[in-house]
A = this chain, B = another copy of it.
Amino acid sequence: MNKVQLIQQYLQEKNIDAAFITTPDNVFYLSGFRSDPHERLLGIMIFKEAEPFMICPKMEVPDAKAAGWAFEAVGHEDTENAWEIFHHTTNTRNVPLHTLAIEKSHLTVERLEALQHFFNDTKYVGLDEQLNQMRLIKSEDELKKLREAAKLADYAIEVGCNEIAEGKTEIEILSAIEAAMKAKGVYMSFDTMVLTGLNAASPHGTPGTQKVQKGDLVLFDLGVVYEGYCSDITRTVAFGEISDAQKEVYETVKRANEAAIELVKPGVLAKELDHASRKVIEDAGFGEYFTHRLGHGLGISVHEFPSVHGANEMAMQEGMVFTIEPGIYKNDTAGVRIEDDVYVTESGVEVLTSFPKELQIIQPK
C-alpha cells in the first residue's frame, strides 16, 4: 500500500471525507515532489473515495509529474485565485465535504479562513498526528538515506577538523565545510555552525569572525540533506592542549551522551532518555548549564516528531530516528555539545553518526 492509500485508509477508518496536505515536507513525503512555493498555494488533496489531486504553481506542474506524482496536478498562476481553482477542482470530484482534515500545526489561520469561505459547512479536524505517526517509523528505504546523510555529516566534521588552524575564523572553516559538501552534490540541512572558544558557550551562538586560538574547544553543529533526508551532528574538538576544567566539561557531556544512547531500545520512554543524560550532568554539578531538551526526531525535516524532552511520556518504537545531544554551556569555561543520530532497532540502537567521541586534539602546526 502506498502512502496516498494509507491516508485514504485512515480517512475511511475515521470517516473523514478528505485531507488537504500543505506542508512542503509532507507533500514531498507523499509525492516525491520537493518544492518551496513561498507564499503560493501548494497542496495535495486526498479524498476518502475519489482521485487525489495536487495544486501547485503552474510552472511547477511538469516538475511534480516528473518527480512521480501519478494523479492530477492542477496549476495556478500568480494572477489567479488559487483557492477558487482548488474549490472548482474539489467540486469536480462530486463528493460531500462534511469533514476535512488539515495540518493544524502548519496551516495558517488565513488559509483556514480561505477554506471556510468556500467550504463553510465543513468541519475541520487535525491530520498532524496521523502524518507524524506515518513519518515516525522509517522504512528500509528511508533508513538507507538517513544512514548516507549521517555518513556525509561525519565526513563534514572530518573536513572541519582538517581546516582548523591558528587564526582561522569560524566562517572560513564553515565555508570550507560547505564547499566540500556541495562538491559532493549535497546541501546542508541547516546553517552550519562553527563556534570557537567561549563563543561555543551560547547554545544558539552565531559563527562570525572569531579566530581559533590554542586552547580552544571548537564546536561543529551541522547536517546534510541526502535525497530528501537529513542528518544532524555535533562534535566538539580541542585545538592544542586544553585545561582540566574544559576537559571535565567535555567528559561530562560525553558520558551524558553515552548514558542516553545505552538506554535506547523499543519501549524506553523519551523522558527516561532525557533524565538519564541530564542526571550525569547534574551529578557532575553542571545541571544549570544544560538548558535545552535532549533531542528531536529526524527525517525529511531536521526537526520533526518526537521531541525528546523530560516530560515526554512517549515510548520509543523500532524504526524511529532521533538525535541525542546533551550540552553544557558554561560561559566562563567551555561550551560543549555532542550529538548523534540514532535509529531504534528491534532490540536496541544503531548509531548512525560515527565520528569519534573520544576527545580529538588537533595539534597546532
Contact = CB atoms under 8 A, between A and B. Distances in A.
Interface of A: 35, 38-39, 57-60, 63, 77-79, 102, 104-110, 112-113, 124, 126, 128, 171-172, 174-176, 178-179, 182-183, 185, 187, 191, 202-204, 208-209, 291-293, 303, 307, 309-311, 329
A59 B293 CA distance: 11
A185 B204 contact: no
A182 B171 CA distance: 6
A183 B175 contact: yes
Contacts of A292: 57, 59, 78
Residue of A78, A124, A187, A208 with most chain B CB atoms under a 10 A cut-off: A78
Given A77-B291, A175-B178, 14 more contacts: A35-B204, A38-B303, A39-B303, A63-B202, A78-B309, A79-B310, A104-B113, A105-B108, A171-B182, A174-B182, A176-B179, A178-B179, A179-B179, A185-B208
30 contacts: A39-B105, A39-B307, A59-B203, A59-B204, A59-B292, A60-B204, A63-B204, A77-B291, A78-B292, A78-B310, A79-B293, A79-B309, A79-B310, A104-B110, A105-B108, A105-B110, A107-B109, A108-B108, A108-B109, A109-B109, A110-B126, A110-B128, A171-B182, A171-B183, A172-B182, A174-B182, A175-B179, A175-B182, A176-B179, A187-B191
A297 B78 CA distance: 14
Nearest to A173: B182
Contacts of A78: 292-293, 307, 309-311
Contacts of A107: 108-109
Contact of A209 (B35, B185, B191, B293): B185
Specify how many copies of this chain sit in the oligomer. Answer: 2
Contacts of A59: 203-204, 291-292, 329
A106 B110 CA distance: 8
Nearest to A290: B59
Contacts of A113: 104
Contacts of A104: 108-110, 113
Nearest to A58: B291
A27 B53 CA distance: 36
A179 B102 CA distance: 41
A106 B293 CA distance: 26
Contacts of A176: 179
A311 B126 CA distance: 34
A278 B47 CA distance: 38
A144 B113 CA distance: 38
A16 to B, nearest CB: 16
Contacts of A178: 175, 178-179, 182
A138 to B, nearest CB: 20
